[in-house]
Amino acid sequence: MIEGRPGGLRGLDNANSLAHETSPYLLQHAANPVHWHPWGESAFKKARDEDKPIFLSIGYSACHWCHVMARESFEDEATAALLNEHFVSIKVDREERPDLDQVYMAAVQALTGGGGWPMSVFLTTEGHPFYGGTYFPPIPRFNTPSFAQVLRAIADAWRNRRPELERGGRRLVEAIERQAAGGSDVRPLPLGRETLDSAFRDLQRRFDRAHGGWGGAPKFPQPMILEFLLRHHHGTGDAGALAMVTKTLEAMARGGMYDQIGGGFHRYSMDDHWSVPHFERMLYDNAQLARVYLHAWQATGNGFFRVIAEEVLDYVKRELTCPDGGFASAQDADSEGEEGRFFIWTRSEIRDLSGEDAEAFIRAYGVTSGGNFEGRNILRFAGDMKDRAAMAVTRRNLFEAREKRIHPGRDEKVLTSWNGLMLAAFAEAARALDREDYRSAAEHNADFLLGALRTRDGRLFHTWTAGRAKHNGFLEDYSFLIEGLLELYQTTFERRWYRAARELAEIMLARFPSPGGGFFDTGDDHETLIVRPRSRQDNATPSGDALAAAVLLKLAGLAVEPNYVDLVREPLARMQPLMARFPLAFGQRLQVLSYALAPPMEIAIVGDPVSPDTQALLSVVRDGYRPFHVLALGMPGPDGPPVPLLRDRGLVNGRAAAYVCREFTCRAPVTEPEALRKQLDE
């Protein structure tokens, strides 16, 4: 298989129409014998002119089964000949085009009851889906037809039963439209804790008490649910909520889903107890998990959670940071054509590298001669924390030996949305852990995103690769980046980060609103698709609509804009029945509801940022876990206050002062740290 990278393609003598794309995933297919086309009008025109249906294949570069189907089918001359004769074939990187992925994934789920990648969809020349699935094998297996059988059957149906296919496609589009509009006609209920309590009870009922987490194999980490439970515990004191979080976080960090040698999390666990991972590593997983481990440390004081948060962020700094300041999207599951090869060990390798600690390390990490994964060992930590600290030298030896192996491929795409998530993680960790290197990483990233991925009129691009930014920004690009910029402002208190967040919020409000409240995923001048997508539920990343609500609530406090709250409350009220009934699908929105009901605090500290009295007040606000507040800090100046929350506030008797407000009503200012602590804790 070609490991395509911008500027480094091999074997492109017979390149298809993907050769000039920037996506690493599309470039991996540029030398296939399949006559691939990128998504666009030229491909649809070809389908109309030649009277052929469209085969749409959607995947991503770190996807193991995408690589498998490529080797088995897309690099096979006979299969390619079938595709080229009977279809116009379009290849899409789901990470570059989340809008297309969402629309056609909804179609596949409606057709089959499930979904995943590689996604395989057959379309009419109008783009209407009429048949689809995921991975198709080269020969029939387990009641699944071979890919060649599917292609021949679709080609025959297109010739002989086309009206039936077209009617089915139109009905499917209508169903997707109804699904996208779901909930907009529901009568809003007053916002109430009953929704949060009901969601909590459902999560408690479904919780895996043996291994942590929710569901069976494959098991996913669910960081948004863990964040909701931390907030639920903070707001109610319910020990059960915190117990679910700590059980899950410890189990994940001890298991094979966590890279015990280099830090960072793999995508998910193939079993129900976090032992055998799917080895791809995604930027968005590590961004969200770094934050939830950081918050768990703040909430509990458990040093193990702090260690994991730092190891995750150190891994991202080391392996996913690009020279320009962006963060790469992912690392592949495969290396040397084998899934997980980079990460697994034989007992003899461990023994040779461990020296005097060999037996202790082998016991602590569950190493056996037979292995636990295809004859080798995925490391899992079963010892206690003092053992882990004592074995740091051995882990370093293994890390240095592993660095000499062939590394998994890295997807060099910089996605604005996922970078926004990681920006938030670095910015928050910088202030919580007093890590100047994390602050520098966050500032470098924000500078890059606001420079390379923003147009002259202030709008965002979605993706950047090898110096080229492309694709209109989606809702998730705006809401995720605003979240990162707000966290960076509250770390550095540099007004430029607040201003950039506010400017992006105004564009988001102008370009993405839905008539029924909330937001569409695409802007009002985006390419017209068969359905204008709107994601209400979370996926592996937060719903763009839910995170937009979250950042508007935070901006409402900093900007002193009550109308931002009004924009959030009614759509949130309409979603409450779904949130209570299906909490695993609405973790981010449950966090938004928790924040809205807290109600949040707006804290303004007026003083010289470097003065001891200002720092004393700041340290109180930053002490411990405080999820329901926003903070502004600065001195009035000739250009006015840095953010509106500081307006009309000044020093008290020449000393730094803290103003604590709730729902835009403020307490008397205080100058003493203990007085501030008392106001915050009331």
- Closest listed residue to residue 11, CA positions, set 37, 34, 32: 32
What separation in angstroms does the CA of 74 have from each of 34, 80, 334, 406, 643? 6, 6, 18, 25, 55
For residue range 5-25, what is the model confidence (pLDDT) as tens digits?
223 333 444 568 999 999 999
For residue range 587-645, what is the model confidence (pLDDT) as tens digits?
999 999 999 999 999 999 999 999 999 999 999 999 999 999 999 999 876 666 679 99
Residue 143: predicted pLDDT: 81
Residue 202: predicted pLDDT: 98
For residue range 661-677, what is the model confidence (pLDDT) as tens digits?
998 889 999 999 999 99
- Closest listed residue to residue 511, CA positions, set 521, 501, 499: 521
Residue 52: DSSP 8-state: -
Query: Measured between alpha carbons, how far is 558 from 625 in angstroms, rounded to an integer?
Result: 20
Residue 558: predicted pLDDT: 97
Residue 384: predicted pLDDT: 85
CB-CB neighbours of 466 under 10 Å: 13
The lowest-confidence range among 413-422, 479-488, 532-541, 631-640 is 631-640
Buried/exposed 202-234: b ≥16 CB within 10 Å, e otherwise:
bbeeebbeebbbbeeeebbbbbbbbbbbbbbbb
Q: At what angle do helices 612-621 and 673-681 cross, to 10 degrees?
A: 20
What lies within 8 Å, CB to CB, of 13 at 6+ separation is 31
CB-CB neighbours of 510 under 10 Å: 10
For residue range 105-145, what is the model confidence (pLDDT) as tens digits?
999 999 998 889 999 999 999 999 999 999 999 999 878 89
Contact 300, 242 (CB under 8 A): yes
What's the average model confidence in pLDDT over 483-494?
98
| Coil, helix or strand at residue 431 | helix
Query: Measured between alpha carbons, how far is 67 from 29 in angstroms, rounded to an integer?
Result: 10
Q: Mean pLDDT score of the chain, rounded to an integer?
A: 93
Find out whether the peptide bond into 513 is cis, omega within 30 degrees of 0: no
Which amino acid, 229?
A: L
Residue 4: predicted pLDDT: 27
- Closest listed residue to residue 316, CA positions, set 417, 452, 410, 453: 410
Share of the chain above pLDDT 70, in %: 96
Residue 244 has pLDDT above 90, yes or no: yes
- Closest listed residue to residue 460, CA positions, set 422, 504, 522: 504
Q: Report the first-to-last Cα separation within the chain, whole angstroms.
A: 61
What is the CA 381 to chain-centroid distance, rounded?
Answer: 26
Torsion over CA: 464, 468, 474, 477 (sign): positive
Which amino acid, 64?
A: H
Residue 1 has pLDDT above 60, yes or no: no
pTM of this structure: 0.94
Residue 412: DSSP 8-state: -
Contact 378, 344 (CB under 8 A): yes
Residue 506 has pLDDT above 70, yes or no: yes
Residue 355: predicted pLDDT: 83
Query: Measured between alpha carbons, how far is 679 from 676 in angstroms, rounded to an integer?
Result: 5
Contact 556, 571 (CB under 8 A): no
Residue 640: predicted pLDDT: 63
Residue 8: predicted pLDDT: 32
For residue range 414-434, what is the model confidence (pLDDT) as tens digits?
999 999 999 999 999 999 999
What lies within 8 Å, CB to CB, of 198 at 6+ separation is 580, 581
What's the average model confidence in pLDDT over 455-460?
95
Confidence of residue 182 (pLDDT cuts 50, 70, 90): low
CB-CB neighbours of 300 under 10 Å: 18
Residue 484: predicted pLDDT: 98
What is the CA 348 to chain-centroid distance, rounded?
Answer: 37
| Coil, helix or strand at residue 193 | helix
Contact 498, 558 (CB under 8 A): yes
**Which tokens belong to 138?**
């080269």
Domains of the chain: 24-180 (3.40.30.10), 282-330+411-597 (1.50.10.20), 341-407 (no CATH), 601-681 (3.40.30)
Query: Measured between alpha carbons, how far is 486 from 598 in angstroms, rounded to an integer?
Result: 19
- Closest listed residue to residue 319, CA positions, set 305, 306, 309, 332: 332
146-149 long-range contacts (CB < 8 A, ≥24 apart) are 147/69, 147/72, 147/73, 147/79, 147/120, 148/78, 148/79, 148/82
What's the average model confidence in pLDDT over 255-279?
97
